């Protein structure tokens, strides 16, 4: 059995998964998998190739010629830097549209599991604890109220100098949450043995500390 430790962090959009997961990985010296980026890349690559986000067969076929690399804070698709290009609102929507297809999810499975390398992995997404790493040592379901998450996303955009509308962000976020939770393939849900971490009232630091403590106590039983 694989004894390479995994901390799986799932949750809805803008709950803080990426920020918190990267910090936990940094503290522990673990690798980090941003699984949402993989679905975003699939949506972007399809757009570039004129493939419809609904066309499951073409999407699965496309996966075989995607060369995806994460290096020093940049994301590369077939040699081109696409770090910023996958963060647009259009690609956020596209990612959640391509992510409904079970065959595409299967095609992306081994790519994600390949990130499990020594000394360990922190992985964030929607189905890390349920599907991709069901034997993860530590499972966290990170959440916060929709209003707080919309505010966080709003601030994030403003800091990047991107003009945004809070009401529209809240609407988009709720539409995407609904699509992610209601799809039949790997829906967003709290795994039975995952710990719930509600961060509406928690700072990033407090969330990081809570996860580090969970992971320490889970490791005592290894
Ligand atoms: O990856 P995910 O979409 O879940 O969220 P994120 O991009 O990591 O976090 C969204 C925003 O919320 C970031 O600007 C974080 O700095 C912020 N955040 C926060 O203010 N308080 C927290 N406890 C967690 C995240
Ligand atoms: O940052 P945010 O939480 O808004 O999104 P993300 O984590 O980058 O994921 C983008 C989209 O990819 C989500 O809305 C999901 O539909 C999909 N996704 C998924 O289906 N499974 C994952 N493990 C990660 C993301």
Q: What residue spans define the domains of the chain? A: 6-219
Reading the block at residue 180, the tokens are 């992610």
Q: Which residues pair with 140 in a beta bridge?
A: 9, 195
User: Ligand 2 centroid to 38 CA: how many Å?
Assistant: 9
How far is Cα 45 from Cα 65, in angstroms, rounded to an integer? 10
- The answer to whether residues 3 and 136 touch, using CB atoms and an 8 Å cutoff, is no
C-alpha separations of 57 from 65, 104, 114, 182, 185 in Å: 14, 8, 24, 22, 16
Neighbours of 21 (CB within 10 A): 28
User: Is the CB of 35 within 6 Å of ligand 2?
Assistant: yes
- The answer to whether residues 128 and 8 touch, using CB atoms and an 8 Å cutoff, is yes
User: How much is the pLDDT for 221?
Assistant: 60
* DSSP 3-state of 124: strand
- Closest atom of ligand 2 to 11 CA is 3
User: How much is the pLDDT for 2?
Assistant: 63
Per the annotation, does 203 bind a ligand? no
User: Is the CB of 203 within 6 Å of ligand 1?
Assistant: yes
Q: CATH says 6-219 is which class?
A: alpha beta
How far is Cα 60 from Cα 64, in angstroms, rounded to an integer? 7
Nearest CA to ligand 2 atom 17: 96
User: How much is the pLDDT for 5?
Assistant: 96
> Positive or negative, the Cα torsion across 186, 187, 192, 195?
positive
User: How much is the pLDDT for 1?
Assistant: 52
Ligand 1 mutation pick, 22, 152, 162, 188, max ligand atoms within 8 A of CB: 152
Interface pTM, i.e. ipTM: 0.97
Residue 77: what are its φ and ψ, rounded to 5°?
Answer: -120, 115
pLDDT, one tens digit for every residue, the chain (222 residues):
568 999 999 999 999 999 999 999 999 999 999 999 999 999 999 999 999 999 999 999 999 989 999 998 899 999 999 999 999 889 999 999 999 999 999 999 999 999 999 999 999 999 999 999 999 999 999 999 999 999 999 999 899 888 889 999 999 999 989 988 998 999 998 988 999 999 999 999 999 999 999 999 988 765
Reading the block at residue 201, the tokens are 């009232």
- The answer to whether residues 59 and 98 touch, using CB atoms and an 8 Å cutoff, is yes
User: Is the CB of 95 within 6 Å of ligand 2?
Assistant: yes
Per the annotation, does 2 bind a ligand? no
CA 82, chain centre distance (Å) = 16
Residue 193: what are its φ and ψ, rounded to 5°?
Answer: -105, 20
Reading the block at residue 78, the tokens are 């077939």
How far is Cα 60 from Cα 56, in angstroms, rounded to an integer? 6
pTM for the structure as a whole? 0.95
Nearest CA to ligand 2 atom 6: 36
């Amino acid at each position: 059995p694989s004894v390479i430790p995994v901390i799986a962090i799932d949750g809805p959009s803008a709950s803080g998964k990426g920020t918190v997961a990267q910090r936990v990985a940094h503290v522990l010296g673990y690798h980090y998998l941003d699984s949402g980026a993989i679905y975003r890349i699939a949506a972007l690559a399809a757009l570039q190739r004129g493939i419809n986000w609904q066309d499951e067969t073409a999407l699965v076929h496309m996966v075989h010629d995607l060369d995806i690399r994460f290096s020093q804070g940049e994301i590369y698709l077939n040699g081109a830097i696409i770090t910023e290009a996958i963060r647009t609102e259009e690609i956020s929507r596209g990612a959640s549209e391509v992510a409904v297809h079970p065959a595409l999810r299967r095609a992306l499975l081994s790519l994600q599991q390949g990130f499990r390398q020594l000394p360990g992995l922190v992985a964030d997404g929607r189905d890390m604890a349920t599907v991709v790493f069901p034997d993860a040592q530590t499972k966290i379901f990170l959440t916060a109220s929709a209003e707080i998450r919309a505010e966080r996303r709003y601030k994030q955009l403003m800091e990047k100098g991107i003009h945004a509308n809070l009401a529209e962000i809240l609407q988009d976020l709720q539409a995407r949450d609904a699509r992610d939770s209601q799809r039949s393939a790997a829906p967003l849900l709290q795994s039975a043995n995952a710990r719930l971490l509600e961060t509406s009232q928690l700072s990033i630091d407090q969330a990081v500390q809570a996860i580090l403590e969970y992971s320490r106590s889970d490791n005592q039983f290894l």
